[in-house]
Amino acid sequence: MPKVMKNFWRNLPQSAKMFLILFLLGLSIIGALDLGQFAVNRPEKASPTTEYYEVRFIILSKVDNEPINKAEVQFIFDGAPEPRFTNDDGYVGIDIPKRNDIDVVIKRKGFKDLSRRINLEVDPDRTIIYYLEPNEKELSYNLNTNYKEGDLIKSTITEHTQSRWGDKKDYTSLNETRTLQTEVLILEIEGAEPSKFIEKTLLDQTLLSSELVGQYQNVYRTYNYNFAEKGIFDSTSILCEKQKGVWSRKLINVTPNTEQAKELNRSWNWADDYQYSYPNYRVKLGDSWDVFRYGGGLLENIALKNSSLQARLIEITEYEGEKSAKVAVKGTFELGTFIPNYDIYQTKIKLINKTFTAFFKDLAFDIFLDTIADSIHNGDFQFILSLKERSEQLYKKVADIYSIVHKNPQKLTLAEIRKKVANSVIPSDFWGSDEKLLESLESEAASYFQDLQDQGHFAEGKFDVEGEVYRSLDTPIDLYSKTYFSSTIRSADEISDGVITEFTLTQRAYINRRE
């Protein structure tokens, strides 16, 4: 500061100094206020009050009306979107300044995006419900839902088997249809599967139609038979219970016969009859999984060998009003030698036994008639005389035919003689009271097929499989299934080498569930 100014400041009166200081201070404050550096004591401008709308949403699944949590809801108004996320109840809300409308985008993995424009003047302060449509390719499904105590499973299974072996002229053809109707009442649950239940068999019946065509003693013959047989547990109820990891089965209010006792005492578990091959994880549309075993039907409790059998989830749909997963099954598998379950194959063996016993009897009788006709044609009266030992009535019938043939000036042909013999001689003439011969035929047939059962009827067999299943997504059952098996099998016995088998298994089921 120049010396003159110092002297000037020093020589000012005290009152003048105070005035200058206050004046300069005032200028500084005014400058600061003009620059906006101080707001103290600055009068505020009046601003209008901001109004807000509360926008609220509940987001539900379009499939089952269940809340969707963690869905991202983007509210788009001024500037960048403001994301919010729904809670476990599917609820989300936001306060936004009053405006005419607002754009909303809702996103959730597994569902299709939803975009909406909301007119706030029409829908102010209101909770809006939106439904998200599932993206089927992203959703996953549980095909192994749990049973519940009190579940009543009603099921009808139809097994149709066609088997044929031989060539075009000499062959045996069997057509078998089994109908099994059951009701299973679940009493107790352990983990994911029942541990105690009652199985009531309303009907277990198998029908067998057969045709046997072949050349016997230079004559082609055809034999047709139809037999029916009830299963060993038809019209019975069985209590099945698992204790300490071991299953036991016993008839209710009935003493088991020998056949029933043999089946009840064999090793058994729930999975043998009721558990099909489904993954223990959630699957998506298009997912495939290997089928290592097949439960139920002819292949009950059979482990598959060299299997390329796969199942694939192809569609989520409805079957008779119930939400279900449509599963396609396709591939091949092989069977090794196995001992079949007694209850299923006992019925089949009885039917085969009846068929072949009837066949052996009819064939023996037809060959006997041919032998008589040949003896008459050749003039062998000694054979005719030997028939007296079997039956006097039989001898008289044949002797009369012999007399007619040889007194006729026009000698009859062998075919004409056979026709006369067939029209005159009846089976009772041949069998008479020879119960031992009948018993031996029946015993021979029974022994033959019991041997097949004991050694395993199929030694080798490769099956081609194709089918579809409608699997319930709410209950642990197949609502409907139809599976087609075809194979050319080399049998354990030499007679039926090269058996062509076609087998179709159809099942319908549903659960009555107490809520």
Rounded to whole angstroms, the Cα distance separating 178 from 304 reads: 23
Show which of 90, 107, 135 is a domain's final residue.
135
Is 32 domain-assigned? no
pLDDT for 28 = 39
Same domain, yes or no, for 298 and 364? Answer: no
Q: Are 266 and 197 part of one and the same domain? A: yes
> Would residue 420 count as lying in a domain?
yes
Residue 366 within any structural domain of the chain: yes
| Residue 22 is assigned to a structural domain of this protein | no
d(CA 244, CA 248): 11
CA distance 178 to 503: 11
Q: Are residues 320 and 360 in the same domain?
A: no
Within a domain: 20: no
Q: Let me know: does 295 contact 272? Beta carbons within 8 Å.
A: yes
Mark whether 88 and 156 lie in a shared domain: no
Tokens of 62: 């379009």
Residues 354 and 497 placed together within one structural domain of the fold = no
Q: Quick check: 268 and 248 in contact, CB under 8 A? A: no
Q: What is the pLDDT of residue 121?
A: 73
357 and 314 inside one domain: no
Is the residue at 493 inside a domain?
A: yes
> Does 323 share its domain with 374?
no
366 shares a domain with 303: no
- Beta carbons within 8 Å of 78's beta carbon, 6+ residues apart: 97
For residue 296, give the amino acid letter. G
- 13 domain residue, yes or no: no
Alpha carbon distance 339, 8 (integer Å):
130
Q: For strand 152-166 and strand 288-290, is the pairing parallel, antiparallel, or unpaired?
A: unpaired
Block means of pLDDT (10 residues each) for the chain, 515 residues, are 46 47 39 35 48 83 84 79 86 82 86 85 75 78 88 92 84 92 94 91 96 84 95 95 93 94 84 68 88 49 70 92 92 66 75 85 87 91 88 90 86 88 86 61 62 50 85 90 78 51 84 76
Q: Tokens for 475, please give them.
A: 């209950």
Write down the pLDDT at residue 175: 94
- Supply the CATH number for residue 128's domain: 2.60.40.10
- For residue 293, the one-letter residue type is R
Q: For position 141, what pLDDT does the model report? A: 87
Q: Are residues 288 and 413 in the same domain?
A: no
Residue 115 domain boundaries: 52-135
Alpha helix positions (H), 321-434: 342-378, 381-386, 392-407, 414-424, 427-431
Instruction: Evaluate if pTM is beyond 0.85.
Output: no
Rg (CA), the chain: 45
State which of 413, 442, 471 marks the end of a domain: 442
- Please indicate, yes or no, whether residues 250 and 315 belong to a single structural domain of this protein: yes
Residue 92 is assigned to a structural domain of this protein: yes
What pLDDT does residue 304 have?
63
Q: What is the CATH number of the domain that holds 165?
A: 2.30.230
Question: Structural domain tally of the chain?
Answer: 3
* Among candidate residues 101, 135, 169, the one where a domain is terminated: 135
Contacts of 232 (CB under 8 A, 6+ apart): 257, 259, 260, 263, 343, 346, 347
Q: Quick one: 488 and 368 in the same domain?
A: no
Q: In terms of domains, do 127 and 146 share one?
A: no
